[in-house]
Structure 1
């Protein structure tokens, strides 16, 4: 039986991450600034961590501004993708939020700084809220 070679990036441990934080003015961007400060702290602890402020992340997670979604409006939404030193993605992006208090953001920051590169799963309680379903007729 012939074995297929493993892709180099798949065997590589994540040395960093790119975290995109929603800063939409009428939504996530109005959340508690202390949450954003905790996330900034994570990028300072990880040499190859990158925090990016962006507009609505509705394409990647279930934004409360999309009609029919009944999720809390306040709180930061964050999409994180593990990467190598040269910013090569090393796995799927993971959506978090809403992060509504600094303790939640600090838990995410700890995972980014300590757990991500060790292959630990992210804290389940911080994962993004799934979309609300319309009631069946």
Structure 2
């Protein structure tokens, strides 16, 4: 029996992204407008970057609207999907937030413009907070 060489297809580098920003009126969308403006810089810096305003992202991250969650309400939450130029997803979607300061949004925009294409990890302090544990009974 002869051994065949093991070939692994290298995953292409991200050429762009789709970023969904929560704009739910009673929650994340009420965050600081300066943060949203700083987020708008990201697709301007990346040829295949797309920023989409959407409703609640509770499916993708633990939304502060859900009863019992102790995550701060203020700030924008963003889910980002790295992709190719034809919008084919590359890897899992990443959740960020709450972004409460324009400096945080600028750091995220810079990572999308430079770090994402270079395969760098996202800025850890910007990653979405995890769900709160249910209270002990």
TM-score w.r.t. length of structure 2: 0.94
Structure 2 matches for 1:85-100, cutoff 5 A?
85-100=85-100
> Does residue 45 of the first structure (1) align with residue 23 of the second (2)?
no
Distance 1:79 1:3 in 2: 38
- Paired residue for 2:72? 72
- The Cα shift of 1:5 comes to 4.5
Distance 2:136 2:74 in 1: 28
Point out the structure with the larger helix share: 1
Point out where structure 1 has 5 or more consecutive residues left out of the alignment: none
- Paired residue for 1:6? 8
> In angstroms, what is the RMSD of aligned CA positions?
1.2
Point out where structure 2 has 5 or more consecutive residues left out of the alignment: none
Distance 2:125 2:84 in 1: 26
- The Cα shift of 1:136 comes to 2.3
- Paired residue for 1:108? 108
- The Cα shift of 1:73 comes to 0.5
- Paired residue for 2:55? 55
Distance 2:126 2:135 in 1: 26
Distance 1:6 1:20 in 2: 31
- The alignment covers a number of residue pairs equal to 135
TM-score w.r.t. length of structure 1: 0.94
- The Cα shift of 1:91 comes to 0.8
- The Cα shift of 1:134 comes to 1.5
Distance 1:101 1:132 in 2: 22
Distance 1:32 1:6 in 2: 45
Give the 3-state SS of the residue equivalent to 1:11 in structure 2: coil
